[in-house]
């Protein structure tokens, strides 16, 4: 009963919200057009090495479709939760800047519109492509809310590398924006900037929702097991039990052996967390969130795996890493180097495999949908759009089917590799002698 | 046309990392405590129960097989015993019959000998009686002859003849 009420509330919210957002959207649309034109004007007046990405096509098409940028925009984390182009649920925004301190407010203050671009700034922060940026150039009002006319995107040379830089347009002038801090050290075009974004973003909200859903589902099953221990499994138990037993009997026990009871909850948590989020990201019209395709999330999981494996590693495991028995000394040294690298490469592959697979799946689906716009020349050719749709629908459906398999396979692969790492670190001595390579 | 923009999903952001760490740790803790452990225990218990039930069934089956063979053994034993008893009874019967027959024969021969003896005795007694009678008769005849002798010879003679004639009757 409670579930039904929840679903009805959710559905009514989804249906009612667009009508509320519609007024906002129309206003937004006007803004966008003025914004676009101002963009083009700026591009034409712009001289020198920096030029807008749109500028090349701006002469004949002011909104040329860029499938790569669109796909990445759609799989990126955001400070608003957008469902289609109508529903934009504001999320809490928690920002910290060294020179300024904490700023906590709702992302509704940005009045996000098309492309999740904010139409207002707040305390010197703006929302561009869904994520919060901080205005770096002086002259921009750093307190309260002002209307932002638009955003510009440029590629600049920095230390011999091309870097994407965004600008906000305010009162006809461009103000350089700082993106939020990232921990990639500049390898992936990010780095530490003037502020850090601690907001519970779209990905965080998805994680909370999926975790809660899984928890309630498992709690229900656990109660059923507790209250009717002699009854045959029914309902939700019927789905969860085979998966639970699969992880226990085919993942935990073969790899870890007798000690599997200690690690089983972790393996199950990892499996269901990843599976739930993979599937949540595959639901159409629910924001197509890319949680398990975000490196931040898989990095955390991989770090936890690294800690669990190495904290529980026994002397036998460490012996095999630093001083491999039964081989000549030069090879011992060589193997120690390789094994120490392997210590870090193992969780690194876990992290990259999951994020890469899920992101790639999302990009593939978005690219197939993008065919509609490519064939339709961004809405200029109706016939082209129809052909694009006819091609796109079967391809997208095929890709989605594959993605559902990938959702299960990647969750399984992450879990089984975790189990094998734990098993290798904790296995008994005599056991290892037999299977030793 | 394809503009390689910064690949934002692969930029690890501290905010998302901290949130995912907190959420996952909470998820791990809550799921372990309230979901996975009770479910694992319930499943282990159920598996134990199933194993016990199967063991019990196997034991019962084995017991039944044992009981069956025991029953058969008992039955065979009983059958054997019956046969033995029947044979014994037959033997006893035959024995009784032969014994009875022998006894009867013995008795009969005994009776026959007794009868023979009796007959012999009777015969002896009769002979003795006859002898005595004859003696007595002879005496009486002799007495009468003696008494008649005194009257005439002829007469004596006839008289003796008649006496003799009388004797023949015996």
DSSP readout, B8-64?
GGGS--HHHHHHHHHHHHHHHHHIIIIIIHHHHHHHHHHHHHHHHHHHHHHHHHHHH
% of chain B residues with pLDDT over 70: 92
Residue in B14, B36, B39 nearest the CB of A181: B14
Residue A160: pLDDT band (50, 70, 90) is low
Rg (CA), chain A: 26
The answer to whether A25 and A113 have CB atoms below 8 angstroms apart is yes
Q: Which among B4, B9, B34 is the top mutation candidate for probing chain A, defined by the most A β-carbons within 10 Å of its own β-carbon?
A: B9
User: Which distant-in-sequence residues (6+ apart) come within 8 Å of A187 by Cβ?
Assistant: none
Residues forming beta bridges with residue A88, ordered by sequence position? A82
In b/e form, how buried is each residue of B104-126, taking b as 16+ CB within 10 angstroms? eeeeeeeeeeeeeeeeeeeeeee
**How much is the pLDDT for B79?**
95
**How much is the pLDDT for A139?**
84
A269 and chain B: CB distance < 8 Å anywhere?
Answer: yes
**Chain B positions in Cβ-Cβ contact with residue A230 (cut-off 8 Å):** 49
**Chain B positions in Cβ-Cβ contact with residue A241 (cut-off 8 Å):** 43
Is the pLDDT confidence value at B154 over 80?
A: no
- DSSP assignment, residue A254? H
Q: Which residue has the tokens 């120490």?
A: A340
Provide the token pair at B146. 């003696």
B61 and chain A: CB distance < 8 Å anywhere?
Answer: no
Average the pLDDT over A7-25 and give the result: 45
DSSP helix, strand, coil percent of chain A (3-state; round to 5): 60, 15, 25
Taking CB atoms and an 8 Å limit, are A207 and B19 in contact across chains?
yes
User: Closest residue of A to B34, CA-based?
Assistant: A219
**Chain B positions in Cβ-Cβ contact with residue A94 (cut-off 8 Å):** 15
Taking CB atoms and an 8 Å limit, are A181 and B24 in contact across chains?
no
**How much is the pLDDT for A44?**
37
pTM, two decimals, is 0.73
B44 and chain A: CB distance < 8 Å anywhere?
Answer: no
- DSSP assignment, residue A247? I
Is the pLDDT confidence value at A62 over 60?
A: no
Who has greater pLDDT, A204 or A58?
A204
User: Angle at which helices A260-282 and A295-311 pack, to 10 degrees?
Assistant: 170
Provide the token pair at A347. 């969780």
Stated as kind and residue range, the H or E segment containing A106 is strand A101-106
Q: Which residue has the tokens 């910064």?
A: B6
- How do the domains of chain B map onto residue ranges? 13-163
B26 and chain A: CB distance < 8 Å anywhere?
Answer: yes
**How much is the pLDDT for A48?**
36
Is the pLDDT confidence value at B30 over 90?
A: yes
Taking CB atoms and an 8 Å limit, are A244 and B23 in contact across chains?
no
B31 and chain A: CB distance < 8 Å anywhere?
Answer: yes
Read off the pLDDT of residues A336-360 as tens digits, 9 standing for 90 and up.
999 999 999 999 999 999 999 999 9
Q: How far apart are CA A191 and CA A182, in angstroms?
A: 5
**How much is the pLDDT for A10?**
56
Backbone φ and ψ of B4, nearest 5°: -75, 100
Taking CB atoms and an 8 Å limit, are A76 and B17 in contact across chains?
no
The answer to whether A121 and A142 have CB atoms below 8 angstroms apart is no
Read off the pLDDT of residues A92-131 as tens digits, 9 standing for 90 and up.
999 999 888 899 999 999 998 888 889 999 988 999 988 8
| Beta carbons within 10 angstroms of residue B98's beta carbon | 10
Average the pLDDT over B119-131 and give the result: 88
Q: Is A241 exposed, middle or buried (0-12, 13-18, 19+ CB in 10 A)?
A: middle
């Amino acid at each position: 009963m409670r579930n039904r009420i929840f679903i009805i509330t959710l559905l009514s919210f989804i249906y009612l919200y667009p009508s509320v957002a519609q007024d906002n959207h129309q206003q937004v649309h006007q803004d966008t057009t003025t914004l676009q034109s101002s963009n083009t004007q700026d591009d034409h007046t712009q001289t020198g090495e920096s030029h807008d990405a749109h500028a090349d096509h701006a002469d004949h098409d002011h909104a040329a479709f860029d499938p790569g940028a669109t796909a990445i925009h759609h799989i990126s984390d955001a400070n608003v939760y957008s469902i289609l182009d109508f529903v934009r649920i504001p999320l809490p925004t928690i920002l910290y800047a060294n020179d300024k301190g904490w700023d906590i407010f709702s992302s509704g203050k940005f009045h996000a519109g098309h492309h999740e671009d904010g139409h207002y700034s707040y305390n010197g922060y703006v929302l561009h492509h869904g994520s919060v940026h901080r205005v770096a150039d002086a002259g921009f009002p750093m307190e309260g809310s002002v209307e932002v006319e638009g955003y510009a995107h440029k590629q600049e040379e920095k230390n011999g590398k091309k870097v994407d830089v965004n600008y906000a347009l305010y009162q006809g002038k461009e103000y350089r924006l700082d993106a939020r801090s990232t921990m990639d050290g500049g390898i992936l075009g990010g780095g530490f900037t003037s502020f850090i974004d601690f907001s519970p973003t779209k990905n965080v909200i998805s994680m909370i929702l999926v975790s809660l859903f899984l928890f309630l589902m498992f709690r229900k099953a656990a109660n059923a097991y507790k209250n009717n221990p002699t009854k045959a499994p029914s309902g939700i138990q019927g789905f969860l039990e085979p998966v639970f037993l699969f992880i226990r009997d085919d993942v935990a026990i073969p790899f870890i052996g007798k000690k599997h009871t200690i690690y089983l909850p972790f393996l199950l948590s990892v499996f269901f967390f990843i599976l739930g989020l993979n599937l949540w990201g595959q639901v159409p019209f629910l924001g197509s969130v890319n949680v398990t395709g975000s490196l931040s999330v898989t990095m955390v999981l991989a770090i936890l795996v690294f800690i669990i494996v190495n904290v529980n590693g026994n002397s036998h495991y460490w012996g095999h890493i630093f001083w491999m028995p039964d081989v000549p000394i030069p090879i011992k040294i060589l193997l120690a180097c390789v094994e120490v690298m392997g210590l870090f490469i193992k969780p690194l592959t876990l992290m990259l495999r999951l994020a890469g697979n899920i992101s790639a799946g999302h990009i593939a689906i978005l690219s197939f949908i993008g065919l509609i716009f490519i064939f339709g020349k961004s809405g200029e050719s109706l016939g082209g759009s129809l052909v694009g749709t006819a091609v796109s629908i079967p391809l997208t459906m095929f890709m989605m089917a594959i993605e559902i398999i990938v959702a299960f396979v990647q969750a399984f692969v992450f879990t089984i590799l975790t189990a094998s790492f734990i098993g290798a670190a904790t296995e008994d001595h005599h056991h290892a002698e037999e299977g030793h390579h | 046309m394809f503009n390689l923009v910064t690949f934002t999903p692969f930029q690890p952001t501290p905010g998302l990392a901290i949130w995912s760490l907190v959420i996952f740790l909470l998820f791990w803790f809550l799921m372990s405590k309230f979901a996975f452990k009770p479910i694992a225990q319930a499943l282990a218990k159920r598996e134990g129960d199933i194993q016990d039930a199967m063991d019990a069934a196997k034991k019962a089956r084995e017991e039944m097989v044992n009981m069956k063979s025991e029953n058969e053994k008992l039955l065979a034993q009983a059958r054997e015993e019956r046969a033995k008893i029947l044979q014994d009874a037959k033997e006893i019967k035959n024995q009784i019959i032969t014994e009875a027959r022998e006894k009867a024969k013995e008795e009969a021969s005994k009776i026959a000998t007794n009868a023979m003896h009796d007959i012999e005795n009777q015969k002896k007694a009769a002979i003795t009686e006859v002898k005595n009678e004859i003696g007595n008769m002879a005496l009486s005849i002799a007495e009468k002859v003696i008494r008649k002798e005194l009257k005439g010879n002829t007469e004596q003679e006839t008289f003796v003849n008649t006496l003799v004639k009388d004797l023949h009757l015996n």
